[in-house]
Amino acid sequence: MLALRRGPLVARIHSHSRSLSTASSSSPIRRGIYATAFVISTGLFAVYYFDARSALHRYILTPALRHTLDAELGHKIAVKVLKSGLGPRDPCSDDSRLKSEFLGKQISNPIGLAAGFDKDGEAIDGLFNLGFSWVEIGSVTPKPQPGNPKPRVFRLLEDSGLINRYGFPSDGHASVLARLRARIPAFQQTHDNAAFRPESVLAVNLGKNKDSSLDSIDDFITGVRNFGPYSDVLVVNVSSPNTPGLRGLQNRDLLEKLLDGVTKARDDLPVSDLTSTRPKLLLKLSPDLDEAQIIDIADVIKKSKIDGVIVSNTTIQRPKSLISINKTELGGLSGAPVKPYSLKALRTLRSYLPSSIPLIGCGGIFTGADALEYAKAGASLVQVYTGFGYDGVGTCRRIKDQLSEELEREGTTWSQVVKRAVDELSLKPEVKTSPPNDEKGEKSINQLIADAEHLRVLLDTLDKKLEVEAEQD
């Protein structure tokens, strides 16, 4: 009986042992399959993530940030990701139709990033990696300052707009300068720009400390001296609505003093060891100027040595079309609602400046068609800001692709569109016209009469002299 009982038990033990042996032998295979699947899926995700064109960014990651975090925190996280070197990249080369020229420099495309996104120069290279030809950091103030109290940034989702009252929060000149110096390649090479990338531009937007005297220009002059050696372009920002008294520097007398001061400071700089040149100087204006103010500003610009103008900053106007609950917040409005104001100001300024002074358009640019509209209004380049915040890291590539399609459809290039618009819309030089023929004839007759009268006097004098000599004989 015991043998009979032990038989089935032994059989079960042997069976269990065989199953354990089979499971044990299959475990490495199963683990290998899982590991392979994980590596492949991770690789595919990485390829998808690091491509700025990926729908992952536009339709998943960017909306997730927008709907789960407040505007300022989402902004800060985006900057940190791009700073880390782990941000997405634009993998494509720029279409030759997009080639641009600005202040004698060739630029690969006309799409730049406006100041305000990377305020302290933390993510410069991450932003260039997204395909922007022009990255403008700042505004940077001489001394560190916290800016205005929070909350100070408000999305207007229904209006594709944004209201901010940041008030120039800044790490200050010393910290930003340290970051710019840290970017300099360890092995000295010859560069023709401070971006350290071909056909690109690095700009620094200069701001003013809140506690500085209202009519003082010292903060801007300090900015020129500090950042001149490390930038291609310096932007004098007198148009933010969030620093009390700053827009007053757009008034004629103060603007003359400011532009004289900053251009002299720039001209006194030694040639940069990095770029073998001195930086260009641009003025950034408000879209809220009326025509009389623009005429005054244009007159000051023409008499100064400023190199160009950015039009425009944010607006304090509130279109009746706004529907977002945040439309009543104080601050500067940017995005789609500012576009009509910026375009109007740009067209007006273009008509009062000669073609030799280039303009950069900024305000409400979300698509290639928007960019082209600015070019046809006389802008040599454009900048994006709010559109980048809403549409994510693929914004620059999408705008470039759309713009290429628009230009191909019209059978032209960006440079040709700009040249045609600037030649047509800019202030024409005064032509000295010759007087009408009847005036010429009248002057000729009068001259003949005068000459005849002069000859008659000479003859009378000669006759009298001869009569005197005859009497003496």
| Catalytic residue positions, numbered | 240
Residue 241, token pair as written in the block: 């609505």
Treating both helix axes as pointing N-terminal to C-terminal, what angle do 291-303 and 339-352 enclose, rounded to 10 degrees? 50
Phi, psi at residue 154, to the nearest 5°?
A: -140, 125
**Sheet strand arrangement including 332-335:** 153-156, 161-164, 332-335
Burial track 273-310 (b if 16+ CB lie within 10 A, e otherwise): ebbeebbbbbbbbbbbbeeebbebbbebbeebebbbbb
Distance CA 7, CA 437 (A): 135
The 3-state secondary structure of the chain, one letter per residue: CHHHHHHHHHHHHHHHHHHHHHHHHHHHHHHHHHHHHHHHHHHHHHHHHHECCCHHHHHHHHHHHHHHCCHHHHHHHHHHHHHHCCCCECCCCCCHHHCEEECCEEECCCEEECCCCCCCCCCHHHHHCCCCCEEEEEEECCCCECCCCCCCEEEEHHHCEEEECCCCCECCHHHHHHHHHHCCCCCCCCCCCCCCCCCCEEEEEECCCCCCCCCCCHHHHHHHHHHHHHCCEEEEECCCCCCCCHHHHHCHHHHHHHHHHHHHHHHCCCCCCCCCCCCEEEEEECCCCCHHHHHHHHHHHHHCCCCEEEECCCECCCCCCCCCHHHHCCCEEEEHHHHHHHHHHHHHHHHHCCCCCCEEEECCCCCHHHHHHHHHCCCCEEEECHHHHHHCCCHHHHHHHHHHHHHHHHCCCHHHHHHHHHHHHCCCCCCCCCCCHHHHHHHHHHHHHHHHHHHHHHHHHHHHHHHHHHHHC
Q: Is 116 left (phi over 0), alpha (psi -120 to 50) or beta?
A: left
Side-chain half-sphere exposure of 277, counting CA atoms within 13 A = 15
